[in-house]
Amino acid sequence: MNEGEEERLRQLLRDAGVGESAIDMRRGRLTTGFAFEEAGLACLSNHEIFNRYRVRRPSSRRAEARPIDSLLELERGDTVVHLTHGIGRFLGIEKLVREGREQDFVALEYQGGSKLFVPVANIDLIQKYVGGTDAAPPLHVLGGGKWSADKLRAEESVRKLALEMLRVQALRGMELGIAYPPDTDWQRAFEASFPYEDTEDQTAVTAAIKRDMETPRPMDRLVCGDVGYGKTELAMRAAFKAATAGKQVAVLVPTTVLAQQHYQTFTERMRDYPLAIEVVSRFKSKAEQRRILAAAAGGRVDVLIGTHRIVQADVKFKDLGLVIIDEEQRFGVEHKEMLKRLRATVDVLTLTATPIPRTLHMSLLGIRDISSLATPPRDRIAIRTEVLPHDERRIREAILEELDRGGQIYFVHNRVYSIDGVRKFLERIVPEASFGVAHGQMDEHELEANMIAFLEKKIDVLVATTIIESGLDIPNVNTILIDNADQFGLADLHQLRGRVGRYKVQARCLLLLPRDRSIVPQARKRLKAIEEFSDLGSGFRIAMRDLEIRGVGNLLGREQHGHIAAVGYDLYLKMLEKEAKKQRKEVVEDLPETGVDLGLEAHIPASYIAELPSRVEAYRKVVGSDDLDAAREELADRYGPPPEPVETFLKLVRVKRLAGGWRLTSVALGRGFVVAIYLDRERAKKLAARHPHEIRIVDDKAIHIYPRNDPKGTQLAEALIRLLAVGS
């Protein structure tokens, strides 16, 4: 029992006229109650008292899972974008010996076989290319003019987009919505009764949603989170806050099955409170639907859950305050137009397991506020994913292994006309198991009966279409087999895989390939990606790989499509963010591309990080880090104490960053001094004035630096850090 549950029980006892002294309440962990008759003692667990929870809060003593930090790895042959030189091909990291010292360079190939060697300290200027289509773009000519022209056209497109962003922001600021009161005791008790520990992200996003709801501006927040990361709980907290403040809540979901599950989940979580929760779906008769909709129009329904039916014109609410949308991208154009009109007057909270890359532009446009759930729940275990040919023996083994540990199985076959044949095939090879079928064309009563039987564990294997894809959460199902996996999109495969592994056991996802046909190249890429990215929190990487495979398409609108293809997705978004800041009159400082060459051996040796993708990612993290001390600690934690070349590289990155702040474009070793090229004479004069004995302006572009005691090697880097850090 936790604090919220204890307070709720005391309140119920007082209401019933039972003295609190008659019952001894203790906080702790108890799976099930027991009676000790000789001692006259009976113990009850909290979930037996409240009849609410099937699972308990995991122990905090177990190791906490961590999200995956890696974003975009580079591999040999990948197409990349260099900010200055344009689209090229990544050849790897090459060692070059300069003045007797080894240094690492990023090798890029351009049109005609020309090569460019970029110092690893400038690896932040290179991004993996994600473009407008799945076709590889032509490489630029090194030193040619096409890249500059492409960037100028993209910048003009970005300027127009940023102006539209300001217009949308101004319109949102003018709307007056609902300002909800601060949290009540009921709200605190409801949240405290959540049977798991909140992740840091859940705590932060809960606070953001409440801030939105307590201000008069209509909320339009998008919560992105990988499958199983706790989005539904956040939605229930928002719904509870709205409903207990006297407003009605509409919960819109893409499938009938998910509507039914949300209804059960909301009812279970809120059963101790006087809230009326209803669901409208084809599981309900016409008469029941009319009764529920009439009650909603009369204000007698607090939370109404349903599919697209609840956004049709004949559905009325007496006092609608909050709309929760689960996976908005699955609804049609006409439904989205209705939702746009709702956003003008009521709070809207949208949940999606589609990770950030597909929705980041909405944040930049100011259309929505975006929150991300990136931390997996404690005890969550990554799902073991395998790609294998359709084989009777392996299918039988997988089903029996799950049955042996008391679990259940999904078998996904996305063809209605042949799904009964697949069920019969499975019954033949695994006669020990019981089977049921679920698909969208079934009679609603049969579908409901099959789903309830599966939930009640009367069915071992559910043979289903992608009707199970959105949000179904059945902890006892921990094996999923996906038939003809090559015919699914990458995001679909990721969503389907997320239907298992919801509890603290090792889950499995088997991707079955046909033996009688070849697999197209794009499908091979998708299957490789879903098998490779099976770690916790890999949704971001999967979304980026999906963008690579399919192209960004019409992501930011038809007008921007060609510009994204010309300069790449990453650079286009950076341009958009920069222009948006300019339009808001925020300070935007264009730091120069600063080169640092002090003749030092500064690199990450292969003996320290052997794999090339990991080494490239380490370089990117160090160069892009806002906290170099934290970056060093992470390297030490993952790979051991950094050797001297790595320590020197960290110092050079610090010099580069400080020099950029002074608008120095080059810092290089001269004869007995360091030569720095500057862009801003006033800043150069200010720097020289701070160190008159060590820094001297020599002409209209260069300064000479003479550190005290004539330091050598890494001591020179340390001396430069000391000189450039003051007042930069």
CB neighbourhood size of 425 (10 A):
16
Q: What is the distance between the alpha carbons of residues 463 and 420, in angstroms, rounded to a whole number?
A: 9
Taking alpha carbons only, the member of 131, 171, 580 closest to residue 365 is 580
In DSSP terms, 249 is beta-bridged to 303, 322
Q: Which residue has the higher pLDDT, 104 or 558?
A: 104
Average pLDDT, the chain: 81
Q: In 360-502, which ranges are E strands?
A: 369-373, 384-389, 408-412, 435-438, 461-464, 477-482
Q: In this predicted structure, what is the pLDDT of residue 158?
A: 79
What is the reported pLDDT for 586?
75
Q: Is the dihedral of CA 625, 103, 679, 124 positive or negative?
A: negative
> What's the confidence (pLDDT) of residue 468?
82
pLDDT at res. 342: 62
pLDDT of residue 159: 82
Residues above pLDDT 90, as percent of the chain: 33
The structure's pTM equals: 0.59
pLDDT of 289 higher than 80: yes
**What is d(CA 620, CA 127) in angstroms, rounded to the nearest whole number?**
10
Q: Which of 41-45, 278-282, 389-393 has the lowest mean pLDDT?
A: 41-45
pLDDT value for 132? 54
pLDDT score recorded for residue 195? 80
Handedness of CA 341, 342, 346, 349 (dihedral sign): negative
Q: Which residue has the higher pLDDT, 565 or 277?
A: 277
* Greater model confidence, 359 or 700: 700
Query: What's the rounded Cα separation, in Å, for the pair 705 and 708?
Result: 10
**pLDDT (tens digit per residue) in 593-632:** 888 888 888 899 989 998 888 888 889 889 888 889 999 9
Tokens of 127: 């991004």
Instruction: Pull the structure tokens for residue 17.
Output: 């006229």
- Model confidence at 258: pLDDT above 80: yes
* pLDDT given for residue 515 in this prediction: 83
pLDDT tier at 495, thresholds 50, 70, 90: confident
> Backbone dihedral region of 178: left (phi > 0), alpha (psi from -120 to 50 degrees) or beta?
beta
* Among the listed residues 439, 19, 471, 12, the one whose alpha carbon sits nearest the alpha carbon of residue 227: 471
Q: How far does the chain reach from its first CA to its final CA, in angstroms?
A: 54
Other CB atoms within a 10 A radius of the CB of residue 438 amount to 21
Tens of pLDDT, residue by residue over 628-641, are 999 999 999 889 99
Q: Encode pLDDT of 666-689 as tens digits.
A: 998 888 889 999 988 999 999 999
Q: Residue 583: what are its φ and ψ, rounded to 5°?
A: -65, -30
- 688 token code pair: 């020289």
pLDDT per residue as tens digits for the range 533-582: 666 555 555 665 555 555 544 444 444 556 667 777 677 777 877 777 77
The pLDDT, as a whole number, for residue 210 is 95
Per-residue pLDDT tens digits for 305-334: 998 888 777 788 999 999 998 876 666 555
Query: Kindly report the CA angle at 162 between 159 and 168, in degrees rounded to 5?
Result: 150
Q: Which residue has the tokens 């532009």?
A: 361
State how far the alpha carbon of 551 is from the alpha carbons of 266, 496, 547, in Å. Answer: 38, 22, 5
- 365 has pLDDT over 60: no
Q: Which of 19-23, 309-313, 328-332, 398-402 has the lowest mean pLDDT?
A: 328-332
**Residue 665, class by beta-carbon neighbours within 10 Å (0-12 exposed, 13-18 middle, 19+ buried)?**
middle
Q: Please report the pLDDT score of residue 585 as a whole number.
A: 76
pLDDT in tens, 47-86: 667 655 444 333 333 333 333 233 356 778 888 999 889 9
pLDDT, residue 209, reads 95
pLDDT higher than threshold 80 for residue 356: no
Choose between 226 and 419: higher pLDDT. 419
pLDDT over threshold 60, residue 205: yes
Cα angle 635, 637, 641 (rounded to 5 degrees) comes to: 70
Spatial strand order of the sheet with 101-109 comes to: 115-119, 101-109, 86-98, 79-82, 126-128
| Closest CA relative to residue 586, chosen from 166, 175, 155, 174 | 166
Tokens 């084809």 locate to 282
Out of 69-83, 117-131, 233-247, 472-486, pick the least confident: 69-83
539: enclosing H helix or E strand: helix 539-550
Q: Cα separations (Å) of 105 from 327, 585, 616, 675?
A: 44, 38, 11, 22
How far is the C-alpha of 650 from the C-alpha of 645, rounded, in Å?
9
What are the residues whose beta carbons fall under 8 Å from the beta carbon of 528, sequence distance 6 or more? none
**Can you give the pLDDT at residue 173?**
64
Write down the pLDDT at residue 56. 37
Ordered by where they begin, the domains of the chain are 3-50 (no CATH), 185-373 (3.40.50.300), 384-535 (3.40.50.300), 595-725 (3.90.1150.50)
User: Minimal CA–CA distance to 322: which of 254, 269, 248, 270?
Assistant: 248
Which of 141-150, 243-252, 372-381 is the least confident region?
A: 372-381
* Euclidean distance between CA atoms 241 and 245, whole angstroms: 6
Q: What is the DSSP letter of 59?
A: P
Between CA 24 and CA 187 the distance in angstroms is 25
Out of 151-165, 175-189, 711-725, which region has the weakest mean confidence (pLDDT)? 151-165
> Around Cβ 66, how many Cβ atoms within 10 Å?
11
What's the half-sphere exposure (Cβ side, CA atoms, 13 Å) at 556?
31
Mention every residue, 6+ apart, whose C-beta is less than 8 A from residue 258.
326, 470, 471, 472
Coil, helix or strand for 353?
Answer: coil
Collapsed DSSP state (helix, strand, coil) of residue 135: coil
What DSSP element (H or E) covers 178?
Answer: none
pLDDT for the residue numbered 344: 60
